[in-house]
Chain A
Protein backbone atom coordinates (compact mmCIF):
# COMPACT_ATOMS: atom_id res chain seq x y z
CA UNK A 1 0.00 0.00 0.00
CA UNK A 2 1.33 3.46 -0.86
CA UNK A 3 0.69 6.29 1.50
CA UNK A 4 0.20 9.81 0.22
CA UNK A 5 3.35 11.86 0.64
CA UNK A 6 2.17 13.83 3.65
CA UNK A 7 1.27 10.91 5.86
CA UNK A 8 4.57 9.31 4.82
CA UNK A 9 6.43 12.24 6.37
CA UNK A 10 4.27 11.89 9.44
CA UNK A 11 5.52 8.32 9.87
CA UNK A 12 9.18 9.32 9.88
CA UNK A 13 8.54 12.37 12.05
CA UNK A 14 9.58 10.74 15.36
CA UNK A 15 12.81 9.69 13.73
CA UNK A 16 13.39 13.17 12.31
CA UNK A 17 12.81 14.69 15.75
CA UNK A 18 15.25 12.23 17.27
CA UNK A 19 17.92 13.00 14.70
CA UNK A 20 17.26 16.73 14.96
CA UNK A 21 17.30 16.83 18.73
CA UNK A 22 20.13 14.43 19.48
CA UNK A 23 22.34 14.86 16.45
CA UNK A 24 21.87 18.16 14.66
CA UNK A 25 21.26 20.07 17.87
CA UNK A 26 24.60 19.27 19.50
CA UNK A 27 26.43 19.88 16.22
CA UNK A 28 24.86 23.31 15.89
CA UNK A 29 25.73 23.93 19.51
CA UNK A 30 29.37 23.12 18.82
CA UNK A 31 29.36 25.46 15.83
CA UNK A 32 27.78 28.11 18.03
CA UNK A 33 30.38 27.74 20.77
CA UNK A 34 33.17 27.97 18.21
CA UNK A 35 32.13 31.52 17.31
CA UNK A 36 30.99 32.74 20.75
CA UNK A 37 33.44 31.39 23.34
CA UNK A 38 35.33 33.13 24.86
CA UNK A 39 34.22 36.20 22.85
CA UNK A 40 31.85 36.52 19.87
CA UNK A 41 33.60 36.49 16.49
CA UNK A 42 36.03 34.35 14.57
CA UNK A 43 38.84 34.69 17.09
CA UNK A 44 39.05 30.92 17.54
CA UNK A 45 39.45 30.34 13.83
CA UNK A 46 42.07 33.10 13.66
CA UNK A 47 44.26 30.91 15.91
CA UNK A 48 44.79 28.63 12.94
CA UNK A 49 46.84 31.38 11.34
CA UNK A 50 48.72 32.37 14.47
CA UNK A 51 49.32 29.18 16.41
CA UNK A 52 52.16 26.91 15.32
CA UNK A 53 50.93 24.25 17.73
CA UNK A 54 47.53 24.07 16.09
CA UNK A 55 49.01 23.89 12.62
CA UNK A 56 51.42 21.18 13.69
CA UNK A 57 48.59 19.16 15.18
CA UNK A 58 46.45 19.49 12.06
CA UNK A 59 49.41 18.55 9.87
CA UNK A 60 50.19 15.49 12.00
CA UNK A 61 46.56 14.44 11.85
CA UNK A 62 46.42 14.82 8.09
CA UNK A 63 49.73 13.01 7.54
CA UNK A 64 48.87 10.09 9.79
CA UNK A 65 45.41 9.78 8.27
CA UNK A 66 46.65 9.78 4.70
CA UNK A 67 49.38 7.21 5.36
CA UNK A 68 47.03 5.03 7.38
CA UNK A 69 44.34 5.22 4.69
CA UNK A 70 46.82 4.24 1.98
CA UNK A 71 48.08 1.20 3.90
CA UNK A 72 44.62 0.15 5.07
CA UNK A 73 43.21 0.28 1.55
CA UNK A 74 46.12 -1.60 -0.02
CA UNK A 75 45.99 -4.30 2.67
CA UNK A 76 42.20 -4.34 2.55
CA UNK A 77 42.29 -4.76 -1.22
CA UNK A 78 44.53 -7.81 -0.95
CA UNK A 79 42.38 -9.37 1.74
CA UNK A 80 39.17 -8.67 -0.18
CA UNK A 81 40.74 -10.20 -3.29
CA UNK A 82 41.66 -13.35 -1.41
CA UNK A 83 38.16 -13.51 0.08
CA UNK A 84 36.38 -13.09 -3.25
CA UNK A 85 38.43 -15.85 -4.81
CA UNK A 86 38.17 -18.27 -1.89
CA UNK A 87 35.90 -21.27 -2.26
CA UNK A 88 32.49 -21.15 -0.50
CA UNK A 89 33.22 -22.52 2.98
CA UNK A 90 36.63 -20.85 3.20
CA UNK A 91 35.02 -17.56 2.19
CA UNK A 92 32.40 -17.82 4.93
CA UNK A 93 35.14 -18.45 7.47
CA UNK A 94 37.06 -15.40 6.25
CA UNK A 95 33.98 -13.17 6.44
CA UNK A 96 33.36 -14.52 9.94
CA UNK A 97 36.89 -13.69 11.08
CA UNK A 98 36.54 -10.22 9.61
CA UNK A 99 33.31 -9.58 11.50
CA UNK A 100 34.80 -10.89 14.75
CA UNK A 101 37.57 -8.32 14.44
CA UNK A 102 34.89 -5.61 14.52
CA UNK A 103 33.76 -6.81 17.91
CA UNK A 104 37.13 -6.57 19.63
CA UNK A 105 37.39 -3.36 21.62
CA UNK A 106 39.83 -0.78 20.39
CA UNK A 107 41.32 -0.63 23.87
CA UNK A 108 42.04 -4.34 23.92
CA UNK A 109 43.67 -4.14 20.52
CA UNK A 110 45.73 -1.12 21.47
CA UNK A 111 47.11 -2.61 24.64
CA UNK A 112 47.77 -5.86 22.80
CA UNK A 113 50.07 -3.96 20.47
CA UNK A 114 51.85 -2.45 23.46
CA UNK A 115 52.42 -5.92 24.90
CA UNK A 116 53.64 -7.21 21.56
CA UNK A 117 55.78 -4.34 20.35
CA UNK A 118 56.58 -2.27 23.47
CA UNK A 119 60.11 -1.85 24.84
CA UNK A 120 59.69 -4.98 26.96
CA UNK A 121 57.19 -6.54 24.61
CA UNK A 122 57.26 -10.05 23.25
CA UNK A 123 58.94 -9.11 19.98
CA UNK A 124 61.69 -6.97 21.45
CA UNK A 125 62.57 -9.36 24.27
CA UNK A 126 62.44 -12.25 21.81
CA UNK A 127 64.82 -10.57 19.41
CA UNK A 128 67.13 -9.60 22.25
CA UNK A 129 67.13 -13.13 23.62
CA UNK A 130 68.08 -14.40 20.18
CA UNK A 131 70.88 -11.85 20.03
CA UNK A 132 69.60 -10.23 16.88
CA UNK A 133 69.34 -6.80 18.48
CA UNK A 134 71.06 -5.32 21.51
CA UNK A 135 68.68 -2.45 22.25
CA UNK A 136 64.90 -2.61 21.87
CA UNK A 137 63.42 -1.28 18.62
CA UNK A 138 61.13 1.68 19.16
CA UNK A 139 57.92 0.38 17.61
CA UNK A 140 55.64 2.11 20.09
CA UNK A 141 55.27 5.56 21.61
CA UNK A 142 55.91 7.21 18.27
CA UNK A 143 54.20 7.78 14.92
CA UNK A 144 55.08 4.27 13.73
CA UNK A 145 53.22 2.84 16.71
CA UNK A 146 50.19 5.00 16.01
CA UNK A 147 50.21 3.91 12.37
CA UNK A 148 50.49 0.22 13.22
CA UNK A 149 47.60 0.46 15.63
CA UNK A 150 45.41 2.52 13.32
CA UNK A 151 46.03 0.45 10.19
CA UNK A 152 45.30 -2.70 12.16
CA UNK A 153 42.06 -1.23 13.38
CA UNK A 154 40.98 0.14 9.99
CA UNK A 155 41.77 -2.75 7.63
CA UNK A 156 38.41 -4.51 8.20
CA UNK A 157 36.60 -1.26 7.39
CA UNK A 158 38.53 -1.08 4.13
CA UNK A 159 37.85 -4.71 3.24
CA UNK A 160 34.06 -4.56 3.25
CA UNK A 161 33.34 -1.97 0.53
CA UNK A 162 36.12 -3.36 -1.67
CA UNK A 163 34.85 -6.90 -1.15
CA UNK A 164 31.36 -5.78 -2.19
CA UNK A 165 32.73 -4.09 -5.32
CA UNK A 166 34.71 -7.18 -6.25
CA UNK A 167 31.73 -9.45 -5.75
CA UNK A 168 29.69 -7.41 -8.18
CA UNK A 169 32.21 -7.96 -11.00
CA UNK A 170 31.01 -10.42 -13.63
CA UNK A 171 33.69 -13.12 -13.85
CA UNK A 172 33.09 -13.38 -17.57
CA UNK A 173 34.50 -9.88 -18.01
CA UNK A 174 37.80 -11.15 -16.68
CA UNK A 175 37.61 -14.22 -18.92
CA UNK A 176 36.79 -11.93 -21.85
CA UNK A 177 39.97 -9.96 -21.23
CA UNK A 178 42.02 -13.15 -21.15
CA UNK A 179 40.40 -14.56 -24.27
CA UNK A 180 41.17 -11.30 -26.09
CA UNK A 181 44.86 -11.68 -25.29
CA UNK A 182 45.15 -9.66 -22.09
CA UNK A 183 47.84 -10.99 -19.74
CA UNK A 184 47.14 -11.37 -16.03
CA UNK A 185 48.72 -7.99 -15.30
CA UNK A 186 46.91 -6.24 -18.15
CA UNK A 187 43.62 -7.75 -17.08
CA UNK A 188 44.17 -6.52 -13.53
CA UNK A 189 45.27 -2.97 -14.31
CA UNK A 190 42.93 -2.28 -17.20
CA UNK A 191 39.80 -4.22 -16.28
CA UNK A 192 39.73 -5.44 -12.69
CA UNK A 193 41.16 -2.41 -10.89
CA UNK A 194 38.96 0.17 -12.71
CA UNK A 195 35.89 -1.92 -12.00
CA UNK A 196 36.71 -1.98 -8.29
CA UNK A 197 37.33 1.78 -8.17
CA UNK A 198 34.00 2.60 -6.48
CA UNK A 199 34.96 0.17 -3.71
CA UNK A 200 38.40 1.72 -3.35
CA UNK A 201 36.95 5.22 -3.17
CA UNK A 202 34.34 4.16 -0.62
CA UNK A 203 36.97 2.38 1.48
CA UNK A 204 39.33 5.37 1.38
CA UNK A 205 36.54 7.73 2.37
CA UNK A 206 35.33 5.58 5.24
CA UNK A 207 38.82 4.90 6.57
CA UNK A 208 39.97 8.49 6.24
CA UNK A 209 36.90 9.91 7.97
CA UNK A 210 37.11 7.47 10.87
CA UNK A 211 40.84 8.13 11.14
CA UNK A 212 40.31 11.87 11.52
CA UNK A 213 38.55 11.35 14.81
CA UNK A 214 40.87 8.72 16.30
CA UNK A 215 41.52 9.29 19.97
CA UNK A 216 42.46 6.17 21.90
CA UNK A 217 45.11 4.78 19.56
CA UNK A 218 47.18 7.97 19.16
CA UNK A 219 46.87 8.66 22.88
CA UNK A 220 48.10 5.22 23.94
CA UNK A 221 50.48 4.18 21.17
CA UNK A 222 51.78 7.68 20.47
CA UNK A 223 52.91 8.04 24.06
CA UNK A 224 52.05 11.77 24.04
CA UNK A 225 54.46 12.42 21.17
CA UNK A 226 51.93 12.13 18.36
CA UNK A 227 49.31 14.71 19.15
CA UNK A 228 46.29 14.46 16.86
CA UNK A 229 43.21 16.64 16.69
CA UNK A 230 40.88 14.42 18.70
CA UNK A 231 43.28 14.12 21.62
CA UNK A 232 43.97 17.84 21.54
CA UNK A 233 40.23 18.59 21.61
CA UNK A 234 39.81 16.42 24.66
CA UNK A 235 42.68 18.22 26.38
CA UNK A 236 41.03 21.56 25.61
CA UNK A 237 37.68 20.39 26.92
CA UNK A 238 38.79 18.49 30.01
CA UNK A 239 41.98 20.14 31.17
CA UNK A 240 42.55 23.63 29.87
CA UNK A 241 38.79 24.31 29.52
CA UNK A 242 39.18 26.25 26.29
CA UNK A 243 35.88 25.17 24.82
CA UNK A 244 36.04 27.71 22.03
CA UNK A 245 39.25 26.28 20.61
CA UNK A 246 37.93 22.73 21.00
CA UNK A 247 34.68 23.59 19.24
CA UNK A 248 36.58 25.31 16.44
CA UNK A 249 38.75 22.21 15.87
CA UNK A 250 35.68 19.97 15.87
CA UNK A 251 34.04 22.27 13.34
CA UNK A 252 37.17 22.13 11.16
CA UNK A 253 36.99 18.30 11.21
CA UNK A 254 33.31 18.43 10.29
CA UNK A 255 33.87 20.83 7.42
CA UNK A 256 36.84 18.78 6.24
CA UNK A 257 34.73 15.65 6.03
CA UNK A 258 31.89 17.47 4.26
CA UNK A 259 34.33 19.03 1.77
CA UNK A 260 35.82 15.61 1.09
CA UNK A 261 32.44 14.06 0.40
CA UNK A 262 31.53 16.98 -1.85
CA UNK A 263 34.76 16.51 -3.83
CA UNK A 264 34.09 12.80 -4.20
CA UNK A 265 30.55 13.43 -5.36
CA UNK A 266 31.97 15.56 -8.16
CA UNK A 267 33.88 12.54 -9.45
CA UNK A 268 31.34 9.79 -8.96
CA UNK A 269 27.89 9.17 -7.70
CA UNK A 270 28.03 8.64 -3.95
CA UNK A 271 25.19 6.16 -4.27
CA UNK A 272 27.45 3.79 -6.24
CA UNK A 273 30.26 4.35 -3.76
CA UNK A 274 28.06 3.37 -0.86
CA UNK A 275 26.64 0.29 -2.50
CA UNK A 276 23.54 1.83 -4.05
CA UNK A 277 22.01 0.29 -7.15
CA UNK A 278 24.07 0.74 -10.27
CA UNK A 279 22.37 2.49 -13.12
Chain B
Protein backbone atom coordinates (compact mmCIF):
# COMPACT_ATOMS: atom_id res chain seq x y z
CA UNK B 1 0.00 0.00 0.00
CA UNK B 2 2.94 2.34 -0.12
CA UNK B 3 2.49 5.04 -2.64
CA UNK B 4 4.64 5.22 -5.72
CA UNK B 5 5.16 8.93 -5.64
CA UNK B 6 4.01 11.89 -3.65
CA UNK B 7 5.44 14.70 -5.74
CA UNK B 8 2.93 17.12 -7.20
CA UNK B 9 3.33 19.47 -10.12
CA UNK B 10 0.81 22.26 -10.45
CA UNK B 11 1.16 23.66 -13.95
CA UNK B 12 -0.34 27.06 -14.70
CA UNK B 13 -3.51 26.22 -12.81
CA UNK B 14 -6.42 28.61 -13.11
CA UNK B 15 -9.98 28.55 -11.82
CA UNK B 16 -12.49 31.03 -13.14
CA UNK B 17 -16.11 31.60 -12.14
CA UNK B 18 -17.49 33.71 -14.94
CA UNK B 19 -15.39 36.84 -14.93
CA UNK B 20 -13.99 36.19 -11.45
CA UNK B 21 -10.63 34.44 -11.26
CA UNK B 22 -10.28 32.52 -7.99
CA UNK B 23 -6.97 30.90 -8.87
CA UNK B 24 -4.78 32.70 -11.36
CA UNK B 25 -2.07 30.85 -13.26
CA UNK B 26 -0.48 29.06 -10.31
CA UNK B 27 2.61 26.93 -10.93
CA UNK B 28 4.22 25.02 -8.11
CA UNK B 29 6.32 21.94 -7.53
CA UNK B 30 5.64 20.09 -4.29
CA UNK B 31 8.34 17.61 -3.29
CA UNK B 32 7.57 14.11 -2.10
CA UNK B 33 7.42 14.09 1.70
CA UNK B 34 7.31 17.86 1.96
CA UNK B 35 5.15 19.81 4.43
CA UNK B 36 3.92 22.65 2.27
CA UNK B 37 1.57 25.35 3.54
CA UNK B 38 -0.71 27.52 1.43
CA UNK B 39 -1.00 30.69 3.48
CA UNK B 40 -3.25 33.60 2.69
CA UNK B 41 -6.22 35.66 3.84
CA UNK B 42 -9.75 34.51 3.04
CA UNK B 43 -10.47 34.96 -0.63
CA UNK B 44 -6.84 34.45 -1.60
CA UNK B 45 -7.70 31.27 -3.49
CA UNK B 46 -5.83 28.89 -1.21
CA UNK B 47 -8.84 26.68 -0.45
CA UNK B 48 -9.96 26.66 -4.08
CA UNK B 49 -6.47 25.56 -5.06
CA UNK B 50 -6.58 22.76 -2.48
CA UNK B 51 -10.01 21.64 -3.73
CA UNK B 52 -8.64 21.54 -7.28
CA UNK B 53 -5.80 19.29 -6.09
CA UNK B 54 -8.35 17.15 -4.23
CA UNK B 55 -10.55 16.85 -7.30
CA UNK B 56 -13.60 18.65 -5.89
CA UNK B 57 -13.15 21.68 -8.14
CA UNK B 58 -12.65 21.28 -11.84
CA UNK B 59 -9.80 23.07 -13.47
CA UNK B 60 -10.43 25.94 -15.87
CA UNK B 61 -6.91 25.82 -17.25
CA UNK B 62 -3.61 24.08 -16.54
CA UNK B 63 -2.71 20.61 -15.32
CA UNK B 64 -1.85 18.69 -12.15
CA UNK B 65 0.77 15.94 -12.26
CA UNK B 66 1.23 13.34 -9.55
CA UNK B 67 4.61 11.68 -9.93
CA UNK B 68 4.71 12.97 -13.50
CA UNK B 69 1.27 11.65 -14.49
CA UNK B 70 -1.67 13.99 -15.11
CA UNK B 71 -4.53 13.56 -12.67
CA UNK B 72 -6.56 16.53 -13.88
CA UNK B 73 -9.31 14.25 -15.22
CA UNK B 74 -9.15 11.72 -12.36
CA UNK B 75 -12.22 11.82 -10.08
CA UNK B 76 -11.63 12.63 -6.40
CA UNK B 77 -12.17 9.06 -5.18
CA UNK B 78 -9.52 7.72 -7.57
CA UNK B 79 -6.83 10.22 -6.65
CA UNK B 80 -6.01 8.42 -3.42
CA UNK B 81 -5.37 11.64 -1.55
CA UNK B 82 -6.17 11.75 2.13
CA UNK B 83 -8.02 14.85 3.18
CA UNK B 84 -8.71 16.48 6.53
CA UNK B 85 -11.59 18.92 6.34
CA UNK B 86 -12.37 22.08 8.18
CA UNK B 87 -14.78 20.88 10.86
CA UNK B 88 -13.39 17.34 10.35
CA UNK B 89 -16.42 15.91 8.48
CA UNK B 90 -16.38 12.68 10.48
CA UNK B 91 -19.20 10.26 9.70
CA UNK B 92 -21.53 10.95 12.63
CA UNK B 93 -23.27 7.56 12.51
CA UNK B 94 -20.05 5.53 12.62
CA UNK B 95 -17.76 4.69 15.53
CA UNK B 96 -14.19 5.95 15.62
CA UNK B 97 -13.06 2.51 14.44
CA UNK B 98 -15.46 2.50 11.48
CA UNK B 99 -14.54 6.06 10.55
CA UNK B 100 -10.85 5.20 10.39
CA UNK B 101 -11.55 1.87 8.69
CA UNK B 102 -13.71 3.47 5.99
CA UNK B 103 -11.03 4.06 3.33
CA UNK B 104 -9.85 0.45 3.68
CA UNK B 105 -13.34 -0.98 3.85
CA UNK B 106 -14.41 0.76 0.60
CA UNK B 107 -11.28 -0.79 -0.93
CA UNK B 108 -12.55 -4.18 0.25
CA UNK B 109 -9.47 -5.07 2.30
CA UNK B 110 -9.71 -8.16 4.53
CA UNK B 111 -11.03 -7.54 8.03
CA UNK B 112 -7.87 -8.67 9.81
CA UNK B 113 -5.78 -6.18 7.85
CA UNK B 114 -8.29 -3.40 8.52
CA UNK B 115 -8.35 -4.06 12.26
CA UNK B 116 -4.56 -4.17 12.48
CA UNK B 117 -4.21 -0.95 10.50
CA UNK B 118 -6.89 0.87 12.52
CA UNK B 119 -5.12 -0.13 15.74
CA UNK B 120 -1.88 1.20 14.28
CA UNK B 121 -3.53 4.51 13.36
CA UNK B 122 -5.20 4.88 16.77
CA UNK B 123 -1.76 4.41 18.23
CA UNK B 124 -0.28 7.03 15.91
CA UNK B 125 -2.80 9.68 16.99
CA UNK B 126 -2.84 8.47 20.61
CA UNK B 127 -6.49 7.51 20.74
CA UNK B 128 -6.16 3.90 21.91
CA UNK B 129 -9.27 2.86 23.75
CA UNK B 130 -11.55 5.25 21.85
CA UNK B 131 -12.38 2.88 18.99
CA UNK B 132 -15.99 2.27 20.00
CA UNK B 133 -16.93 5.89 20.67
CA UNK B 134 -19.08 7.94 18.34
CA UNK B 135 -17.62 11.22 17.04
CA UNK B 136 -20.04 13.30 19.10
CA UNK B 137 -18.63 11.67 22.26
CA UNK B 138 -15.17 13.12 21.56
CA UNK B 139 -13.66 16.54 22.20
CA UNK B 140 -12.74 18.79 19.28
CA UNK B 141 -9.07 17.88 19.51
CA UNK B 142 -9.87 14.17 19.57
CA UNK B 143 -12.21 14.49 16.58
CA UNK B 144 -9.44 16.28 14.75
CA UNK B 145 -7.09 13.36 15.41
CA UNK B 146 -9.69 10.84 14.23
CA UNK B 147 -10.01 12.82 11.00
CA UNK B 148 -6.24 12.71 10.62
CA UNK B 149 -6.06 8.97 11.33
CA UNK B 150 -8.87 8.33 8.84
CA UNK B 151 -7.12 10.33 6.14
CA UNK B 152 -3.78 8.60 6.71
CA UNK B 153 -5.17 5.09 7.17
CA UNK B 154 -4.79 4.04 3.53
CA UNK B 155 -1.24 5.45 3.31
CA UNK B 156 -2.06 8.11 0.70
CA UNK B 157 0.87 9.64 -1.18
CA UNK B 158 -0.48 13.10 -0.42
CA UNK B 159 -2.45 14.42 2.53
CA UNK B 160 -4.50 17.58 2.04
CA UNK B 161 -5.47 19.58 5.11
CA UNK B 162 -8.01 22.40 4.94
CA UNK B 163 -7.63 24.62 8.04
CA UNK B 164 -7.82 21.55 10.28
CA UNK B 165 -7.08 23.48 13.48
CA UNK B 166 -9.53 26.31 12.85
CA UNK B 167 -12.09 25.06 15.38
CA UNK B 168 -9.64 24.49 18.25
CA UNK B 169 -8.79 26.98 20.96
CA UNK B 170 -5.38 28.61 20.91
CA UNK B 171 -3.66 26.52 23.57
CA UNK B 172 -4.83 23.24 22.06
CA UNK B 173 -3.84 24.48 18.62
CA UNK B 174 -0.21 24.88 19.62
CA UNK B 175 -0.23 21.37 21.07
CA UNK B 176 -1.78 19.86 17.95
CA UNK B 177 0.71 21.71 15.74
CA UNK B 178 3.53 19.85 17.44
CA UNK B 179 1.68 16.54 17.09
CA UNK B 180 0.97 17.17 13.42
CA UNK B 181 4.60 17.89 12.73
CA UNK B 182 5.64 14.75 14.58
CA UNK B 183 3.12 12.65 12.65
CA UNK B 184 4.34 14.14 9.38
CA UNK B 185 7.89 13.16 10.28
CA UNK B 186 6.82 9.61 11.13
CA UNK B 187 4.63 8.83 8.10
CA UNK B 188 6.68 10.69 5.49
CA UNK B 189 3.59 11.60 3.45
CA UNK B 190 3.47 14.81 1.43
CA UNK B 191 1.36 17.30 3.41
CA UNK B 192 -0.39 20.20 1.68
CA UNK B 193 -1.78 22.40 4.41
CA UNK B 194 -4.11 25.37 4.01
CA UNK B 195 -4.30 28.04 6.69
CA UNK B 196 -4.69 31.76 7.25
CA UNK B 197 -2.75 31.52 10.52
CA UNK B 198 0.85 32.67 10.08
CA UNK B 199 1.99 31.02 13.32
CA UNK B 200 0.75 27.63 12.14
CA UNK B 201 2.50 28.17 8.83
CA UNK B 202 5.79 29.23 10.41
CA UNK B 203 5.91 26.52 13.05
CA UNK B 204 5.11 23.47 10.91
CA UNK B 205 6.02 24.02 7.28
CA UNK B 206 9.05 23.03 5.24
CA UNK B 207 7.95 25.66 2.74
CA UNK B 208 5.25 28.28 2.75
CA UNK B 209 3.36 29.59 -0.28
CA UNK B 210 1.92 33.02 0.41
CA UNK B 211 -1.17 33.61 -1.72
CA UNK B 212 -3.18 36.70 -2.47
CA UNK B 213 -5.90 37.39 -5.04
CA UNK B 214 -5.54 33.91 -6.51
CA UNK B 215 -1.84 34.33 -7.22
CA UNK B 216 1.32 33.13 -5.54
CA UNK B 217 2.91 36.07 -3.80
CA UNK B 218 6.09 34.33 -2.67
CA UNK B 219 7.36 30.81 -1.96
CA UNK B 220 10.09 29.87 0.48
CA UNK B 221 11.11 28.31 3.76
CA UNK B 222 9.64 30.00 6.83
CA UNK B 223 12.98 31.64 7.68
CA UNK B 224 13.52 32.68 4.09
CA UNK B 225 10.12 34.32 3.83
CA UNK B 226 10.40 36.00 7.19
CA UNK B 227 13.92 37.34 6.62
CA UNK B 228 13.61 38.17 2.94
CA UNK B 229 10.07 39.11 2.00
CA UNK B 230 9.92 40.25 -1.60
CA UNK B 231 6.64 42.09 -1.46
CA UNK B 232 4.95 44.42 0.99
CA UNK B 233 2.11 41.91 1.26
CA UNK B 234 4.47 39.09 2.21
CA UNK B 235 6.29 41.34 4.66
CA UNK B 236 3.09 42.39 6.42
CA UNK B 237 1.12 39.13 6.26
CA UNK B 238 3.90 37.00 7.69
CA UNK B 239 4.92 38.86 10.83
CA UNK B 240 4.87 42.65 11.10
CA UNK B 241 6.87 45.17 9.16
CA UNK B 242 7.60 48.88 9.03
CA UNK B 243 7.88 50.26 5.52
CA UNK B 244 10.53 52.86 4.73
CA UNK B 245 10.80 54.81 1.50
CA UNK B 246 14.44 55.48 0.52
CA UNK B 247 15.99 56.43 -2.79
CA UNK B 248 12.80 55.68 -4.69
CA UNK B 249 12.59 52.15 -3.24
CA UNK B 250 10.62 50.63 -0.39
CA UNK B 251 12.25 48.69 2.42
CA UNK B 252 10.64 46.39 5.00
CA UNK B 253 12.01 46.61 8.49
CA UNK B 254 10.97 44.16 11.22
CA UNK B 255 10.06 45.78 14.57
CA UNK B 256 12.45 43.51 16.51
CA UNK B 257 15.42 44.47 14.32
CA UNK B 258 15.33 48.07 15.44
CA UNK B 259 17.29 49.23 18.47
CA UNK B 260 15.71 51.91 20.58
CA UNK B 261 17.74 54.15 22.89
CA UNK B 262 17.38 57.52 24.62
CA UNK B 263 18.09 60.48 22.34
CA UNK B 264 21.76 61.00 21.60
CA UNK B 265 22.80 57.47 22.61
CA UNK B 266 21.88 55.59 19.42
CA UNK B 267 24.75 54.13 17.41
CA UNK B 268 24.11 52.35 14.13
CA UNK B 269 24.47 52.48 10.37
CA UNK B 270 20.97 53.88 10.03
CA UNK B 271 19.41 56.24 12.43
CA UNK B 272 16.15 58.11 12.93
CA UNK B 273 14.97 60.22 15.81
CA UNK B 274 11.45 60.47 17.14
CA UNK B 275 9.06 60.67 20.05
CA UNK B 276 7.46 57.68 21.84
CA UNK B 277 3.74 57.66 21.04
CA UNK B 278 2.85 54.64 23.13
CA UNK B 279 4.42 51.70 24.85
CA UNK B 280 2.63 48.42 25.59
CA UNK B 281 3.88 45.62 27.82
CA UNK B 282 3.42 42.08 26.42
CA UNK B 283 5.42 40.08 28.94
CA UNK B 284 8.23 38.96 26.69
CA UNK B 285 8.37 42.14 24.64
CA UNK B 286 7.69 45.85 24.94
CA UNK B 287 5.98 47.27 21.86
CA UNK B 288 6.77 50.91 21.15
CA UNK B 289 5.07 53.17 18.64
CA UNK B 290 7.48 55.94 17.72
CA UNK B 291 6.52 59.07 15.77
CA UNK B 292 9.25 60.00 13.30
CA UNK B 293 8.77 63.28 11.41
CA UNK B 294 7.82 62.83 7.77
CA UNK B 295 6.97 59.09 7.84
CA UNK B 296 4.39 56.75 9.32
CA UNK B 297 4.83 55.83 13.00
CA UNK B 298 7.49 53.14 13.44
CA UNK B 299 6.80 50.03 15.48
CA UNK B 300 9.68 48.74 17.60
CA UNK B 301 9.81 45.52 19.64
CA UNK B 302 12.25 45.43 22.54
CA UNK B 303 12.98 42.33 24.64
CA UNK B 304 11.41 43.27 27.95
CA UNK B 305 14.14 41.65 30.05
CA UNK B 306 16.85 43.50 28.13
CA UNK B 307 15.31 46.94 28.42
CA UNK B 308 16.95 48.67 31.34
CA UNK B 309 14.22 51.20 31.74
CA UNK B 310 10.87 51.69 30.06
CA UNK B 311 10.94 54.90 28.09
CA UNK B 312 7.64 56.72 28.71
CA UNK B 313 5.28 58.33 26.23
CA UNK B 314 6.69 61.60 24.98
CA UNK B 315 10.33 60.58 25.51
CA UNK B 316 12.69 61.54 22.68
CA UNK B 317 14.43 58.44 21.32
CA UNK B 318 16.92 57.32 18.68
CA UNK B 319 16.08 54.37 16.41
CA UNK B 320 19.02 52.53 14.85
CA UNK B 321 19.32 49.44 12.67
CA UNK B 322 21.86 47.57 10.64
CA UNK B 323 21.95 47.84 6.83
CA UNK B 324 21.07 44.17 6.53
CA UNK B 325 17.94 44.63 8.66
CA UNK B 326 16.07 46.59 6.00
CA UNK B 327 14.91 44.40 3.12
CA UNK B 328 14.35 46.03 -0.24
CA UNK B 329 10.96 45.07 -1.72
CA UNK B 330 10.40 44.47 -5.40
CA UNK B 331 6.67 45.11 -5.17
CA UNK B 332 5.32 47.44 -2.58
CA UNK B 333 1.62 47.41 -3.35
CA UNK B 334 -0.27 45.98 -0.41
Contact = CB atoms under 8 A, between A and B. Distances in A.
Task: Specify whether A and B are partners.
Answer: yes
Interface of A: 170, 172-173, 175-184, 186, 190-191, 194-195, 279
Contacts of B78: 181
A203 B54 CA distance: 36
B130 interface: no
Given A180-B82, A180-B151, A186-B106, A170 B76 contact: no
Given A195-B92, A195-B93, A179 B81 contact: yes
A202 to B, nearest CB: 16
Given A175-B76, A175-B89, A182 B106 contact: yes
Contacts of A177: 91, 102, 106
B80 to A, nearest CB: 7
Interface in B46-86: 54-56, 75-83, 85-86
B166 to A, nearest CB: 13
Contacts of B171: none
A181 B103 contact: yes
A170 B83 contact: no
B154 A180 contact: yes
A173 B136 CA distance: 14
Contacts of B80: 181
A180 B103 contact: yes
20 contacts: A172-B89, A173-B92, A175-B85, A176-B90, A178-B55, A178-B56, A178-B76, A179-B55, A179-B56, A179-B77, A180-B77, A180-B106, A180-B151, A181-B77, A181-B80, A182-B102, A182-B103, A184-B77, A190-B106, A191-B91
Q: Interface range on chain B: under 10, 10 to 19, 20 to 34, or 35 or more? A: 20 to 34
Nearest to A175: B56
Contacts of A178: 55-56, 75-77
A238 B75 CA distance: 65
Given A182-B77, A191-B91, A176 B106 contact: no
A180 B155 CA distance: 11
A168 to B, nearest CB: 10
B15 interface: no
A181 B106 contact: yes
B150 interface: yes
B220 interface: no
B107 interface: yes
B93 A180 contact: no
Interface string B151-173: 10010000010000000000000
Interface centre among A178, A183, A184, A195 (most CB of B within 10 A): A178
B87 interface: yes
Interface of A, helix, strand, loop or mixed by DSSP: helix
Given A181-B77, A182-B102, A191-B91, A176 B83 contact: yes
B111 to A, nearest CB: 16
B153 to A, nearest CB: 8
Contacts of A194: 93
Contacts of A184: 77
Interface string B297-321: 0000000000000000000000000
Closest 3 CB pairs of A and B: A172-B89, A179-B83, A180-B103
A181 B75 CA distance: 10
Contacts of B54: 175, 179
A229 to B, nearest CB: 37
B48 to A, nearest CB: 14
B331 to A, nearest CB: 36
B106 A183 contact: yes
A181 B154 contact: yes
A179 B76 contact: yes
Contact of A176 (B75, B91, B93): B91
Interface in B265-291: none
Nearest to A197: B93
B89 A180 contact: no
Nearest to A194: B93
B85 A172 contact: yes
Contacts of B93: 194-195
A212 to B, nearest CB: 30
